[in-house]
Amino acid sequence: MAKEKPSIPKGTRDFGPQEVAKRKYILNTIEKVFIKYGFMPIETPTMENLSTLTGKYGDEGDKLLFRILDSGETLEKIRNSKFEIRNQNEFNNLIAEKGLRYDLTVPFARYVVMNRNEITFPFKRYQMQPVWRADRPQKGRYREFWQCDADVVGSDSLLHELDLINIYAEVFENLGIDVEIKINNRKVLAGIAEVVKGIEHLNTIAVAIDKLDKIGKDGVSKELTELNFTDTEIENLFDIITIKGNESEMLETLKIKLQSSQEGLKGIEELEFIFNLINQSTNEPTNLKTDFSLARGLSYYTGCIFEVAAVKGSLRSSIGGGGRYDNLTGIFGLDGVSGVGISFGLDRIYDVLEELKLFPETLSQGSSKVLICANNSIENIELSPVLQLLSKLRNEGIASELYTEKINVKKPLEKPIKYASSKKIPYAIIYTENESLKLKNLETGFQEELSMEEIIEKLKG
């Protein structure tokens, strides 16, 4: 067999020890808060039936699904079809019935429907797993990336919106990232559409203003003009979505603008209710802002819409988002179950923490606390005392290892210390036959003769 030069698929990554430690730090920080707010974990399979996935993410989403080739005689199937396959879709359906998880929301909806009889509602679950999308890879966008979701299904109460906002605030505070949590409401967007041009233009307006950050006011105006919006309509639209003031002033102004829209006023009421709740609770996230242009592609949202972005550094794209969807499980035959949820994007949060140098320094420690180095190659010493030392350390819960390789007897510590340094092991124990043990601090170089008990005490401290 030819020796191939190995590589990994584009858009995917390997994670070395330091990266895994940093990713775990983020996951643990998020998970702790999820648990504190009463969410419980579930996990769903990497592969889902394509019947579960297709049609849930729009045509664009369907194209980005990774499909798994069926096992067995797929070529035979193609031959049996007499190669009369009209298009790529038909071809795909003939040879692939499974796909990789595209997000955590649809599998969660499927889970709820399949387990409806065992679940007590409201059901508060969290889920932290990778998802896959055949997107064009670019900076900050990967084909395999992790989402961390918390959702509540089976309750209409806006108290859950409050909890989710508090979770966002607390997680990012714990991570040390300054963020802005933007909030809007689908009903407000509907009201705006009604007032500006008519409810049937809701999607067009939502898609256009969603791009405001990227293409600016001029870009959005141009796009709307091309879609037959009059200058007055566009002016009215911007008039509303750029309302200024503090939160209560903005909502008061919006109330006047949307006074003719029942749905719009309902949306404002929901936002007001949430701001009131926040004022009443002691954990007051001051970084929650209304943004009447926030739409997040609307997708399945029916109530509140959330989005979180960092306010420092160069990475200002969304690191979290979510909202309320009144009938998510309806696609799987279970109607009338309202849900609200948020998602954290692990990989983007990682990039923000890296750029702003916000990872705790202690994370960069290697896994072992101490490396035992003999002053002779391991095959030339009596192993018994060394092995007993090693057992003793480990029995005390101290992560320890023994340097197992040949050494240069003239410079007996050279290779072990290079090894320890690469793993960021902070201490070495120097073992010499018939002599007492020495403990060496590898950062300062300080070294002292100590008994085994003293060493253990020192390393445990």
Interface residues for a copy of itself in 157-216 (CB under 8 A)?
Answer: 157, 159-160, 162-163
CB of 261 to a copy of itself, least distance (A): 25
Nearest to 44 by CA among 143, 141, 131: 131
For the segment 65-84, give every residue that binds a copy of itself (CB under 8 A): 66-69, 71, 73-76, 78, 83
CB of 370 to a copy of itself, least distance (A): 9
Cα 171 to Cα 104, 174, 182, 251, 337, distances in angstroms: 19, 5, 15, 27, 27
Pairing mode of beta strands 370-374, 400-402 = parallel
Stretch that binds a copy of itself, among 2-10, 308-316, 317-325, 351-359 (CB under 8 A): 2-10
CB of 209 to a copy of itself, least distance (A): 28
CB of 357 to a copy of itself, least distance (A): 21
CB of 160 to a copy of itself, least distance (A): 7
For the segment 385-404, give every residue that binds a copy of itself (CB under 8 A): 387-388, 390-392, 394-395, 397-402, 404
Q: Which amino acid is at 261?
A: S
- Could you check whether the bond before residue 416 is cis, i.e. omega within 30 degrees of 0? no
Asked if 364 interacts with a copy of itself (CB under 8 A), we say no
- Partnered with residue 181 across adjacent β-strands are 288, 308
Asked if 423 interacts with a copy of itself (CB under 8 A), we say yes
For the segment 270-329, give every residue that binds a copy of itself (CB under 8 A): 277, 280-283
Stretch that binds a copy of itself, among 47-55, 263-271, 292-300, 339-347 (CB under 8 A): 47-55
Nearer to a copy of itself among residue 241 and residue 274 (C-beta):
274
CB of 189 to a copy of itself, least distance (A): 24
The residues, ordered by sequence, that sit 6+ positions from 275 with a Cβ below 8 Å of its Cβ are 247, 248, 251, 288
Asked if 45 interacts with a copy of itself (CB under 8 A), we say yes
Stretch that binds a copy of itself, among 11-19, 217-225, 287-295, 433-441 (CB under 8 A): 11-19
Q: Report the chain's C-alpha Rg in angstroms.
A: 29
| Binding residue for a copy of itself, selected from 332, 358, 376, 381, defined by CB under 8 A | 332
| Binding residue for a copy of itself, selected from 27, 42, 381, 450, defined by CB under 8 A | 42
Element (H, E) at 446: none
Give the count of residues interacting with a copy of itself (CB under 8 A). 116
Count Cα neighbours of 146 within 13 Å in the Cβ-side half-sphere.
18
Cα 222 to Cα 215, 218, 231, 435, 460, distances in angstroms: 10, 6, 10, 83, 66
Q: What is the 3-state secondary structure (H, E, C) of 308-325?
A: EEECCCCCCCEEEEEEEE
| Binding residue for a copy of itself, selected from 87, 117, 362, 444, defined by CB under 8 A | 87
> Residue 198: which region, alpha, beta or left (left: phi > 0; alpha: psi -120 to 50)?
left
Q: Residue 289 in contact with residue 182, Cβ under 8 Å?
A: yes
Stretch that binds a copy of itself, among 185-193, 346-354, 367-375, 442-450 (CB under 8 A): 367-375
Asked if 96 interacts with a copy of itself (CB under 8 A), we say yes
Nearer to a copy of itself among residue 162 and residue 295 (C-beta):
162
| Binding residue for a copy of itself, selected from 210, 222, 381, 419, defined by CB under 8 A | 419
Asked if 113 interacts with a copy of itself (CB under 8 A), we say yes
CB of 222 to a copy of itself, least distance (A): 31
| Binding residue for a copy of itself, selected from 132, 168, 325, 359, defined by CB under 8 A | 132
- Partnered with residue 342 across adjacent β-strands are 150, 322
Asked if 383 interacts with a copy of itself (CB under 8 A), we say yes
Asked if 336 interacts with a copy of itself (CB under 8 A), we say no
CB of 212 to a copy of itself, least distance (A): 30
SS3 240: helix
Nearer to a copy of itself among residue 26 and residue 398 (C-beta):
398
Burial pattern 67-93, b for ≥16 Cβ within 10 A else e, equals bbeeeeeeeeeeeeeeeeeeeeeeebe
Burial-class residue 211 by CB neighbours within 10 Å (0-12, 13-18, 19+): middle
Give dist(CA 146, CA 344) in Å, integer: 8
